[in-house]
Structure 1
Amino acid sequence: MPKISSEILWDLSAAEVQTRESEEEDRGVQPSERTLFMMGSKAGGKTSILYRCVDKDEAPKPTLALEYSFVRRTRRHSTPKDIVHLWELGGGTSLSDLVQITISPSSVRSLSVILVLDLSKPNCLWVTMERLLLAAQEHAEKAFQTLQKTGNKHQMSVQPTRVLPKDYPDRELISPFPVPLLIIGSKYDIFQEFDSDKKKLMSKTLRFVAHYYAASLIFTSIKSESLVSKTKVFFSHLAFGLDKGKTVSTDSTKPLFVPAGSDSFSQIGTPPTSDMTSIHAKNPKDLWKKVYEYNFPPESVSEQQELKDPAKDPQYNEPPIDAMRAQKNQELEQYKRNVEKSWKGLDLESRQTTA
């Protein structure tokens, strides 16, 4: 067999790659650009989950407000790389106004939302879920409406809400979230120690909410490698369009894995109302809310007051700026003392004159 030089082998390999890339382009396979927006419970583990999903090997830091990062992925024989823009909202519900920065007409067509809810704090769960989903939904719908009014012909064809298959369960009874939505129940390691009745009510409530919005629902814990692995599957589905698998689990004694479209109201059942003497609800969603908050009374905690001063956060240390800020703070305090003395002097002089 004649010996083939390395140059010829290189040329043959390059030609093969170009051929496959051309075939992919002919089939319409193009690099994608998507946006993932993660929000949820304060200190609920959002950053930890995100780091594990993107294989970021470093200790997560508390998210102060709204943080941006991105990841790239190279598909086989495909250049340039797929890119996913990652936005993470900190502060729980206190910074929900920042949702408008991420959800805009320029991003909404390729946007997916991930809502992380802390299962270890059931009394805060419904309020957090309701406020953040409402904020995201309003801005997403406004963004689609803007596209319809000002966009080109291609943008004009975009519907203001997701269009579900005709055979989607309870299609006429649900209200699909405007963009793909994944609800993650975090800290399952703590949740699994709850008594069975609590776990059953929380699980069924979240299943109802997820199905109502045509969303996927999973429970996870960063302390479990198997749960993290399954979370990565759902993350990769939203980020890169990969298959999310066929795993379904609706057993409240186990971690939930409910892909969108795999549940139904008949399977979920009705909320337990036997302990409630009288209840008035406008619709099924309102009924589930009242039952849930009856069993888990919402805590009235002002998250805005709990936010730390970013200037005092050690992760944002800037020695030159911090030194200048300290000097200005001292000058301000001295100014306040001088003003206070001058006002006291004026007050004393005024009293003497009056006397």
Structure 2
Amino acid sequence: MFKGEKTIWDIAIEESKKTKRASYQNPEDDQEGIKTKDESTIFVIGSKDAGKTSIILRFLDKDEIPKPTTALEYTFGRRARGHNIAKDVGHIWELGGGTFLSKLIDVPIKVETIDSISIILVLDLSKPHELWNTMETMLQVARERIERVISEAAAKDSAIQQRLRRRAWKQFGENHPDKDMIEPFPVPLVIIGSKYDIFQDFDSEKRKVIGRTLRFIAHSHGASLLFCSMKTESLVIKTRQLISHLVFGTAAGKTISLDANKPIIVPAGNDSLQQIGPPPVSEGDIGKLTARSPLELWKQAYTSFFPQQAGSTSVAEDPAKDPQYTEPAVDNIRAQKDEELERYRRQSERKVREMARGGVWEDVKV
């Protein structure tokens, strides 16, 4: 062997290093915008009973009956990378309970995931009187958490904020004519309008108001927008394609549909304020609005058309009685304590009745 000649082991080590560098290539360096990292995270939030679990199950191609999500649930998906043995992993978190458990948003959004997380906001199109409140609450909580995490991550990675901002603008389009009016969400955001099968039977004027409002919300946040129904296979396929793009970096769909009489599909950066038009208020009423920003103007217009109602503020069922969370040792003790509490309650009620009959009320504690 000549001096300086590489051995087979030297070549193997060099090839291994090349493969590793390619696997962890910065997404910013990919001209097609396709991720090359082997792990990513999506966080599915939104309206209660909007079909979030069903969307996840269909994406994972699981033939299961969806169960109500009590709090925060985790699953994952894997996908082979080319002909290699290695697989890409997508971590999938789902927040149940609508806005009620929004504080749990801190769990998936953290320093370790901020560079690879995407948010999917699912809004129930069949409940327009709750839609704005849900959207506003969830996006506000998510943005505040993301900004805190970015500040925390900046202590070790000073370029994190600039990198995320550059990625957001790259997705939206740095030369977009509405650039001065837009503030992209810090991480990739997708808004899914669920239950389109119910929504399509709404009065045409209601559909237009809801559709244009959601287009403005998505556009102003640099997000993609898609209307979906689990009962329409073509829409399920497009939803899966969009989620796959977020999770595995596959090619994004190119379909664009702005017709209010059809399911709306708008990839980020493919809409404009001119196409969306002004807020749905009459010329005589628009002068009466006191908004300080375009988003506030749209809020006043939408809520005047659909007065907002408070969504459910509690979990519908007691998680302790949910069979999917059974813990025999804990459940037996809980049942025993429940019996003790019930006996104490009956004894206290009996004591109060006896004292009431005797006319004695001093220093009574129940």
What range is the shorter-chain TM-score in? 0.7 to 0.9
Secondary structure of 1:102's counterpart equals: coil
Contact 2:118 2:187 (8 Å CA) reproduced: yes
Deviation digits for residues 210-250 of structure 1 (CA, Å, limit 9, x no counterpart): 00000000001000111100111100110011111211111
Answer with 51-60 or 327-336: which moved more. 327-336
**Distance (Å, rounded) in 1 between the aligned partners of 2:249 and 2:75:** 19
Contact 2:168 2:188 (8 Å CA) reproduced: no
Share of identical aligned residues, percent?
Answer: 49
AA matched with 1:97 = K
Deviation at 1:192, TM superposition (A): 0.6
**Distance (Å, rounded) in 2 between the aligned partners of 1:310 and 1:169:** 49
Secondary structure of 1:282's counterpart equals: coil
Deviation at 1:80, TM superposition (A): 2.5
Aligned with 1:136 (options 142, 161, 164): 142
Q: Judging changes above 3 Å, is the alpha-carbon distance between structure 1 residues 235 and 222 closer, same or farther for their aligned structure 2 residues?
A: same
Q: Judging changes above 3 Å, is the alpha-carbon distance between structure 1 residues 94 and 26 closer, same or farther for their aligned structure 2 residues?
A: closer
**Distance (Å, rounded) in 2 between the aligned partners of 1:164 and 1:155:** 14
Name the TM-score, length of structure 1 as normaliser.
0.86
- The RMSD of aligned alpha carbons is 2.7
AA matched with 1:281 = A
Mapping of residues 94-113 of structure 1, within 5 Å: 94-113=100-119
Deviation digits for residues 287-322 of structure 1 (CA, Å, limit 9, x no counterpart): 111111111111134x22353211122333345543
**Distance (Å, rounded) in 1 between the aligned partners of 2:79 and 2:17:** 20
Deviation digits for residues 252-298 of structure 1 (CA, Å, limit 9, x no counterpart): 11011100011111111111211863222111111111111111111
Which residue is equivalent to 1:245? 253
Which residue is equivalent to 1:34? 40
Q: Judging changes above 3 Å, is the alpha-carbon distance between structure 1 residues 77 and 87 closer, same or farther for their aligned structure 2 residues?
A: same
Contact 1:161 1:178 (8 Å CA) reproduced: no
Contact 2:43 2:93 (8 Å CA) reproduced: yes
Which residue is equivalent to 2:133? 127
Answer with 180-189 or 155-164: which moved more. 155-164
Please say if 1:232 is aligned against 2:226: no
Secondary structure of 2:22's counterpart equals: coil
Contact 1:141 1:161 (8 Å CA) reproduced: no
Contact 2:80 2:87 (8 Å CA) reproduced: yes
Which residue is equivalent to 2:296? 286
Secondary structure of 1:51's counterpart equals: helix
Secondary structure of 2:181's counterpart equals: coil
Deviation at 1:152, TM superposition (A): 4.2
Mapping of residues 129-278 of structure 1, within 5 Å: 129-148=135-154, 150-152=155-157, 155=160, 158-159=163-164, 162-165=167-170, 166-274=174-282, 277=285, 278=288
Deviation at 1:158, TM superposition (A): 3.9
Q: Judging changes above 3 Å, is the alpha-carbon distance between structure 1 residues 156 and 290 closer, same or farther for their aligned structure 2 residues?
A: closer
Contact 1:39 1:89 (8 Å CA) reproduced: yes
Q: Judging changes above 3 Å, is the alpha-carbon distance between structure 1 residues 66 and 169 closer, same or farther for their aligned structure 2 residues?
A: farther
